[in-house]
């Protein structure tokens, strides 16, 4: 693979991927992968090939509400990228190699746009001194200060965003490799059931004042 450039290292690469091995035949591993990306990550399958699939954020109201209420085991970070691609290849008998790749070019574009805006604000501060009667050197210093503070904030924000995406990819690979830990029930249904059980038990409680 080609070496990452400066922007890739400081801000965001065009793509980021995770790869891992999963026990089971292709159909079993595909079922776990589809379950995680479709339900827990809040994505919708856009295209499919014999070895992989392309995913995009599912923008339906039901899925949006499910993710907002944290009714899944996913963080929702993979819904903030342009798209996801997965690929599955046989490694050996009863084991598959799964690759999950996120298209993060939108994160990169946003980072560059924010930096450009910060640079423009810094240049304006250096030119006019933000309306203060200061010397040229003071104005330049003020502009550099705005640029340093704003640029540092942009870099920190983008790095935190990319870290959430990387953790979400790693969590997806873990879920596919360890499906026994994957909760296949519907958390919303479970929550409603618990509320109804509590309400019924409260009605049957003889200590409850009539």
Is the entire prediction scored with pTM above 0.95? no
| Phi, psi (rounded to 5 degrees) for 166 | -65, -40
**Which tens digit of pLDDT belongs to each residue from 150-170?**
456 667 888 888 899 999 999
- For the beta sheet containing 95-103, the strands, ordered from the edge strand earlier in sequence to the opposite edge, are 15-23, 95-103, 83-92, 52-57, 43-48
The answer to whether 131 and 36 are in contact (CB under 8 A) is no
**Terminus-to-terminus CA distance in the chain, angstroms?**
73
**Predicted pLDDT of residue 173:** 94
Residues 6+ apart with CB under 8 A from 18: 99, 100, 166, 169, 170, 172, 173
> Mean pLDDT across the stretch 137-149?
44
Q: Which residue has the higher pLDDT, 139 or 123?
A: 123
**Predicted pLDDT of residue 14:** 86
Indicate whether 52 pLDDT > 70.
yes
Percent of the chain with pLDDT over 90: 39
**Which tens digit of pLDDT belongs to each residue from 35-50?**
999 999 999 999 999 9
Q: What is the band of 75 on the pLDDT scale with cuts at 50, 70, 90?
A: confident
């Amino acid at each position: 693979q080609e070496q990452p450039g400066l922007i890739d290292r400081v801000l965001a690469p065009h793509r980021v991927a995770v790869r891992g091995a999963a026990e089971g035949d292709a159909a079993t591993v595909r079922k776990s992968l589809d379950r995680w990306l479709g339900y827990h990550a809040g994505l919708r399958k856009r295209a499919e090939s014999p070895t992989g699939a392309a995913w995009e954020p599912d923008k339906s109201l039901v899925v949006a509400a499910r993710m907002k209420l944290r009714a899944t085991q996913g963080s929702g970070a993979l819904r903030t990228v342009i798209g996801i691609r997965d690929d599955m290849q046989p490694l050996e008998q009863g084991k598959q190699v799964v690759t999950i790749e996120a298209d993060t070019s939108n994160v990169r574009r946003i980072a560059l746009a924010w930096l450009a805006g910060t640079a423009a604000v810094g240049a304006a501060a250096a030119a006019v001194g933000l309306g203060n009667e200061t010397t040229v050197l003071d104005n330049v210093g003020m502009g550099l200060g705005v640029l340093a503070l704003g640029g540092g904030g942009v870099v920190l924000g983008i790095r935190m965003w990319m870290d959430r995406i990387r953790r979400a990819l790693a969590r997806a690979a873990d879920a596919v490799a360890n499906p026994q830990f994957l909760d296949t029930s519907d958390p919303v249904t479970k929550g409603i059931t618990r509320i109804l059980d509590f309400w019924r038990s409260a009605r049957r409680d003889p200590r409850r004042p009539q």
